Amino acid sequence: MSVDKESFTWRAIEIPNWDRIYQELQILPSVIHRENPVFWASKDVSAYQQYLPTLFKWFDEKSLVVELIAYVRIFKNFRQTYHQDLGYTLALQLPIINCESVYTGFYTTTDRAIFTKNPNHQYLNYPARNMVEYDRYYLKGPLLADVSKIHSVQNFTDQERHAISVRFTEPPWGLLDN
């Protein structure tokens, strides 16, 4: 059965050799985020390819072509801006550090968006005042999330939270077919 894209927010998925991939992800904080300590959305994925061979082998097997990888570092006691990621729907979210107790909420609001542009990425940001949460996930393993819906990472822990968000040339809805 195919998924209802209108109402879809997120779903955990199984990736073969996840334990090994998770081990490979642990190298990233020391080699990747040094380049840009807050948020690095890069279309040059060669560095990731080098450090994450098991993950990229699975991408090849599934014919998934990576368009961009965002390294998402959320400071302790920090709430990410409420936003929509423009140009993407389904993102593959993978935990690296301190993701178990940090959630990503999905929200509705009556407020209007404010357009924001970063070098590699465009967003619609929203004021926080009228946000109503209707769903959330804790990134305990690989999952697919619809980042075209309003969302925000809420880190109320006393540690930084690191994860990567993989965007493909085509949204991988097929991964959700049972």
Binding site for Fe ion (CB under 5 A): 85, 147
Two tokens, residue 3 = 């998924």
Q: Name the residue nearer to Fe ion (CB basis): 10 or 59.
A: 10
Q: Which residue has the tokens 């709430």?
A: 79
Q: Name the residue nearer to Fe ion (CB basis): 163 or 175.
A: 163
- Residue 137 CB, shortest distance to Fe ion, in Å, is 13
Q: Name the residue nearer to Fe ion (CB basis): 54 or 79.
A: 79
- Residue 20 CB, shortest distance to Fe ion, in Å, is 27
* Separation of alpha carbons 45 and 117, rounded Å: 20
113 contacts 126 by C-beta, under 8 angstroms: yes
28 contacts 96 by C-beta, under 8 angstroms: yes
Q: Name the residue nearer to Fe ion (CB basis): 93 or 98.
A: 93
- Residue 18 CB, shortest distance to Fe ion, in Å, is 22
59 contacts 21 by C-beta, under 8 angstroms: no
DSSP strand E in the chain: where? 10-12, 39-42, 66-74, 78-79, 82-85, 90-97, 103-108, 114-118, 121-126, 132-138, 143-146, 151-155, 161-168
- Residue 53 CB, shortest distance to Fe ion, in Å, is 26
Q: Name the residue nearer to Fe ion (CB basis): 146 or 175.
A: 146
- Residue 90 CB, shortest distance to Fe ion, in Å, is 12
